Amino acid sequence: MSQWNPQRDFVVHGRNPLNAEPQSPVLVAEFLTPQAAFYIRNHGDIPALGPDHSVELTGLVDNLSAFCLADLRREFPERKVTAVLQCAGNRRADLQTVKKTSGDPWLVGAIGNAEWTGVALSDVLERAGMDMSRARFVAFTCADRVDVDGEVAPYGVSITIERALAGDVLIAWALNGEPLTPEHGAPMRIIVPDQAGVRSAKWIERIEVRDTPSGAPVQARDYKLFPASVAKEEADWAEGLTIEAMPVTSAICVPEQGASLSAGRTKLEGYAVAYGRSVARVDVSIDGGKAWRHAVLQSDPGARAAWTLWSIEVDLPRGQHELVVKAVDEAGQSQPENAADVWNFAGYLSTAWHRVTVDAVTNCG
């Protein structure tokens, strides 16, 4: 990946705030996504926080405290977790071909798989002690201010106390062994494996143990799933499903949508992920979903929250082909056939069969 060039190899959806995803072939080049190739999803400006930035631990804890990165590294054991991070808006562009939605038209690249280094949030919470008769949520408040439908407030989200105490939720400072860059949350961010990226708060400023979820607008009114019959104007936010876990999904990363390639033997590649379950099978079709074959899977048995990469060699005769992929998890669950089946006004969880149309041509000469 020494040829990797972020200027050239990113699709930029917006510069202010900065939102960008790698071109899809970059995603499958390595099992661990390099930080320089990791999608960037920001709701506001990137705060400039120094290494001494202090995080407050507050709420229903016995001992209120504040710590900086050096304190964490000194006082708690270091943990490493390999986990996929995916935006709930990944592949929104597919839903937008059905009907308009809010949000950026993410292609397949709002996802990455990395080894995160940090300390376990559970170690920090257990050391502080908690009022377990009342502690039900852990809320994160961040240094960036974001606009949710006109209300500007610090970015804030929460997870359940059970999730927070599971041991795999990290206060992380490194991605594949490199210190986090400012856009990915330096100096410290939360990583919640097996949940949508929105809960993995960057630039944390406060960790608060509470008896209610975070009241921040991002938690209360963003990243909520509604049925297709509900329009944004009539949404009762308390009724929406808070997106935490995500459905099994997969995508074709090579070749790219609209590619022109040589007829004959060609390799298709992509990723699959099955939140909390393993990917049991990846089915690939080169005829729009009539006939299917099984792809070869590459996963890391020691990393259950990581993604699975898949590949398959196929023969493409001259002409246009609709390549399709769907993954099946170990519970036998798979992806819906059509984007129309899962359309929602905010464009979340776009996990229908992924389709890529390519032109196979004969190279003469």
Ligand X SMILES: Nc1nc2c(c(=O)[nH]1)N[C@H]1C(S)=C(S)[C@@H](COP(=O)(O)O)O[C@H]1N2
Question: Which residue ranges make up the site for ligand X (CB under 6 A)?
Answer: 38-43, 85, 87, 142, 144, 155, 184-185, 197-198, 200-203
- Under rule CB under 5 A, which residues in 69-88 are in contact with Mo ion? 87
Q: How far is the CB of 130 from ligand X (least distance, A)?
A: 24
Which DSSP helix (H) or strand (E) runs through 296? strand 296-298
Beta bridge pairs of residue 270? 252, 310
3-state secondary structure of 256: coil
- DSSP output for 145-199: EEEETTEEEEEEEEEEHHHHTSS--EEEEEETTEEPPGGGTTT-EEE-TTS-GGG
Closer CB to Mo ion, 87 or 274, in the complex? 87
Nearer to Mo ion, 13 or 79 (CB): 13
CB atoms within 10 A of CB 301: 7
For ligand X, the closer CB: 59 or 154? 154
- In the complex, what is the shortest distance from the CB of residue 51 to ligand X, in angstroms, rounded to a whole number? 18
Q: Which does 348 bind (CB under 5 to 8 A by kind): Mo ion, ligand X, none?
A: none
Q: Please identify, using beta-carbon distances, which residue of 107 and 201 lies nearer to ligand X.
A: 201
d(CA 55, CA 119): 14
Q: Which of residues 189-208 bind Mo ion (CB under 5 A)?
A: 197-198
Query: Closest distance between ligand X and the C-beta of residue 285, in Å?
Result: 29
Stretch that binds Mo ion, among 36-44, 141-149, 210-218, 268-276 (CB under 5 A): 36-44
Q: Determine the length of the chain.
A: 365
| Residue 92 binds Mo ion (CB under 5 A) | no
286: partner contacted, choices Mo ion, ligand X, none (Cβ within 5-8 A by kind) = none
Smallest distance from ligand X to CB 47, Å: 8
- Nearest CA to 171 among 59, 305, 81, 58? 81
Sheet holding 55-59, edge to edge: 65-67, 55-59, 204-210, 137-148, 151-160
Using CB under 5 A as the binding rule, the residues of this chain from 39 to 58 that contact Mo ion are 41
Q: Which is nearer to ligand X, 141 or 334 (CB)?
A: 141
* Residue 269: contacted member of Mo ion, ligand X, none (CB under 5 to 8 Å, by partner type): none
Q: Whose CB is nearest to Mo ion?
A: 87
| Eight-state DSSP code of residue 121 | H
Q: Which is nearer to ligand X, 111 or 358 (CB)?
A: 111
Q: Which residue is nearest to ligand X (CB)?
A: 197
With residue 8 as reference, give the H or E element that holds it: helix 6-9
Minimum CB separation from ligand X for residue 255, in Å? 25
> For the chain, give me the number of helices (H) and strands (E)?
7, 24
Nearest residue (CB) to Mo ion, 182 versus 288: 182
Of the candidates 269, 274, 273, which has an alpha carbon nearest to the alpha carbon of residue 252?
269
Q: Residue 27: which H helix or E strand, with range?
A: helix 24-27
Q: Residue 203 binds which entry of ligand X, Mo ion, none, with Cβ cut-offs from 5 to 8 Å by kind?
A: ligand X
At closest approach, how far in Å is the CB of 204 from Mo ion?
Answer: 16
Name residue, tokens 């992920």.
273
106 binds, among Mo ion, ligand X, none (CB under 5 to 8 A by kind): none
Whole-number minimum distance, CB 233 to Mo ion, in Å?
Answer: 23
Minimum gap (Å) between residue 87 Cβ and Mo ion = 3
Please spell the DSSP secondary structure of 51-106, one letter per residue: TT--EEEEESBSS-EEE-HHHHHHHS--EEEEEEEE-TTTTHHHHHTTS--SS---
Query: Which of Mo ion, ligand X, none does residue 43 bind to, with CB < 5 to 8 Å depending on kind?
Result: ligand X
Distance CA(110)–CA(91), nearest Å, equals 8
Binding site for Mo ion (CB under 5 A): 41, 87, 197-198
